[in-house]
Amino acid sequence: MDYGAFRREVRAFLDEALTPRLKRAGQLQTSVFADFEATMEWHRILYRKGWVAPDWPPEYGGTGWDLIQRHIFQEECKLADAPSLLPMGLQMLGPLLIRYGTEAQKAHYLPRILSGEDVWCQGYSEPGAGSDLASLKTRAVRDGDHYVVDGSKIWTSMAHHANRIFCLVRTANTEKPQAGISFLLVDMATPGITVRPIVGLDGRVEQCEVFFDGVRVPVENRVGAENQGWEVAKYLLAFERGGHHFAADHKKQLRRIARILAAEADPEGRLRGEDPDFCARLAAAEVEALALEYTELRVKGGLAAGASPGALSSLIKVAGCEIGQRLDALALEAAGLWCAPFQPEALSPDWTGTPAAPDHALTAMACYVDNRASTIYGGAAEVQRDIMARHLLGL
């Protein structure tokens, strides 16, 4: 494999396919999610090219690229400012259905994830069930060939855009709470579902509450056996934690910091990039980002060989998120007072007003506050450390 030629092929495609609006959406992305319309436009472009699901096996619509090619692709997309694709269908549900879905579920849902026709959200967390997910209370009671679902989910990312939700529901009250959970695929248009948006710290909506009131879900929409949903859910979580490409994120963050450092000076007129204390802290974070890149490649090597990343995905997640948070804090420090104006509308690629901060500093504050959540979602960092202690260190 000539990786240099592959990288050039990817770059040439990105040069041609990324419109200025799509690139703007990528530049203004401050969390896992970019502007929704731009994200789906980019999804459809990649689908038509056959590059939308590089991590899937080729027989299900993957590209057949090896690990290094996929790494190169993710890196080039990030550095070309492509908006990130939604992970819930491509990175979470898709691999899960490939492993646990019936033939009918695979045939129906996988092509719709690939084409972007179905937009999925993840209904795991509840007001009383986050880290302690097995205590979830949303109930599904069998009524003939349907389940009737009652309860509520919270922090459901993109539920206001999604037309489908995959949910963990309680189908039995067992002594061990994990043994009474099932995994359901639900159409968001089913009567009895209400979505209530939550406004985030950056002033925008990404998460929602989702309420279920007598929602009828066909039994054939269950993935895995009844009361065996915990095993299915855990398989998905390992992909959620291990499926992200932190190295590409960190490189984009470092590039953002470099732009700020080149433009911003302290009150004495010294460029921030000339401050030795700041530079030492930046260099330390950059070294850790590089070390993580190789660890990530090692774990993805296991994934490529068909293994579930297991507890190693917890290690990647904690380190990836914490390095990302350090880089965002450095960007905030470098951008200084430009972080004070609160202007959420300036982060839309379609906004035509006058921004209060220069372009290089426009996203620093929103990136910082949005990224605080990264050590909470997908499993809080403290809980990930417990998993590592138990499963990797045998403590």
- Residues making contact with ligand FAD (CB under 6 A): 121-125, 130-131, 155-157, 207, 373, 376-377, 379-380, 382-383, 386
The CB-side HSE value for 260 (13 A sphere, CA atoms) comes to 30
| Smallest distance, ligand FAD to C-beta of residue 386, A | 5
Write out the two tokens for 294.
Answer: 């190789």
Q: For ligand FAD, which residue has the nearest CB?
A: 130
DSSP bridge pairs for 186: 165
Among candidate residues 75, 126, 240, 296, the one labeled active-site is 240
| Smallest distance, ligand FAD to C-beta of residue 206, A | 7
45 or 321: CB nearest ligand FAD: 321
- Annotated active-site residue 240? The verdict is yes
Q: What is the DSSP string of 206-235?
A: EEEEEEEEEEEEEGGGEESSTTBHHHHHHH
Length of the chain: 395
Give the burial class of 386: count Cβ atoms within 10 A of its Cβ; 0-12 exposed, 13-18 middle, 19 or more buried: middle
62 or 130: CB nearest ligand FAD: 130
| Smallest distance, ligand FAD to C-beta of residue 217, A | 17
> Could you tell me whether strands 181-187 and 164-170 are parallel, antiparallel, or unpaired per DSSP bridges?
antiparallel
Write out the two tokens for 76.
Answer: 């080039």
Query: Token match 């030795």: residue?
Result: 276
312-335 helix and 364-372 helix, angle to the nearest 10 degrees = 150
160 or 300: CB nearest ligand FAD: 160
33 or 65: CB nearest ligand FAD: 33
| Smallest distance, ligand FAD to C-beta of residue 222, A | 18
Catalytic residues: 240
